[in-house]
Amino acid sequence: MSRVQRRELAGAPTLTIDVIALLHSVGLSAREIRSFTPIVKRHSVLNEIGEKIIDKILKNTLSGNDKDGKPFISYSPKYVKSTIFKIWKGRSRKVNLKLKGDMHADLSVVSISEPQGVVTVGFTDEEESNKAKGHITGANYLPRRDFFGLKKQELKDIMLKTIREYEEDAIFDVEEMLIKAAPKIGTEGFQDMQLFEALYGS
């Protein structure tokens, strides 16, 4: 298996990273590879690598660049003049593939295989997945704005940073911390507070 596999044409777009293969490709000594291999097979480490990949993809996208670091093609004048664009983006013309933020919010770690040291990121919601697919491949007369991926060096940096953090005990379970810290949120008067039970209750 190559270090990174991307599937998009059949089904939902996913990005699968073989962290073990990545580990062998960064020029480490045999001793370092032996010592890091059990680390990158840990669930928490693979999850953290996946989350960092998502952070980086979104950071690149929000700054207007595709997976190769090239700027996205501008939005069409017709789209910029549309009411929906004005409602959500006001006068901003920045191309960052974000209108309401639903597609960005849906990008998540979808699977982890500890024995193989593999992590997959992708979309969980069909509508958001189709939206992403449209941007990645260019569909319905839209230009291709392929945001879904990272450069090899970016992936290597993420992996090595995460190993370092693991060694320094600096990997925190963000989900668990969020459950402890999440504010109650809802609308007043018409209903009970919409707690985040819908998300955290299960």
Partner 1 sequence: MGVKFKTSKKLNDLLKGKIIDEFKSRENLEKIGKLAAKLVYGRTKEGKGVTDAKSPSPGSTSLKELKPSYIEFRKRYPPTGRFSSVEKSNLTYTGTLLDSITPKIKKASIKLTLEGPHHAGMSNKKLGEIVQEQRPFFALTGKEQKNITSEMKKLMRLLVRRYST
Chosen residue from 3, 67, 104, 135 binding partner 1 by CB under 8 A: 104
User: Which region, judged by CB under 8 A, interacts with partner 1, from 81-89, 112-120, 133-141, 152-160?
Assistant: 81-89
Chosen residue from 1, 35, 76, 84 binding partner 1 by CB under 8 A: 84
Of 48, 174, 1, nearest to 56 by C-alpha is: 48
What's the rounded Cα separation, in Å, for the pair 130 and 125? 9
Q: Per rule CB under 8 A, is residue 202 in the interface with partner 1?
A: no
Chosen residue from 30, 115, 185, 202 binding partner 1 by CB under 8 A: 185
Q: Per rule CB under 8 A, is residue 154 in the interface with partner 1?
A: no
Q: Per rule CB under 8 A, is residue 91 in the interface with partner 1?
A: no
DSSP 42: S
Instruction: Measure the N-to-C terminal CA separation of the chain; round to a whole number of Å.
Output: 35
User: Which region, judged by CB under 8 A, interacts with partner 1, from 10-18, 73-81, 146-154, 169-177?
Assistant: 169-177
Strand partners, 6: 15
Query: For residue 97, how far is the Cα from the chain centroid?
Result: 14
Q: Per rule CB under 8 A, is residue 81 in the interface with partner 1?
A: no
Q: Per rule CB under 8 A, is residue 157 in the interface with partner 1?
A: no
User: Which region, judged by CB under 8 A, interacts with partner 1, from 7-15, 16-24, 65-73, 94-102?
Assistant: 94-102
Q: Which secondary-structure segment (H or E) carries 82?
A: none
Of 144, 147, 130, 138, nearest to 57 by C-alpha is: 147
**What is the CB neighbour count within 10 angstroms for residue 44?**
14
Q: Per rule CB under 8 A, is residue 183 in the interface with partner 1?
A: yes
CA 30 vs CA 17, 18, 44, 156: distances in Å = 21, 18, 24, 17
Q: Per rule CB under 8 A, is residue 100 in the interface with partner 1?
A: yes
Binding residues for partner 1, per CB under 8 A?
51, 55, 83-84, 86-88, 100-102, 104-106, 125, 165, 167-170, 172, 174-175, 177-178, 180-191, 193-199
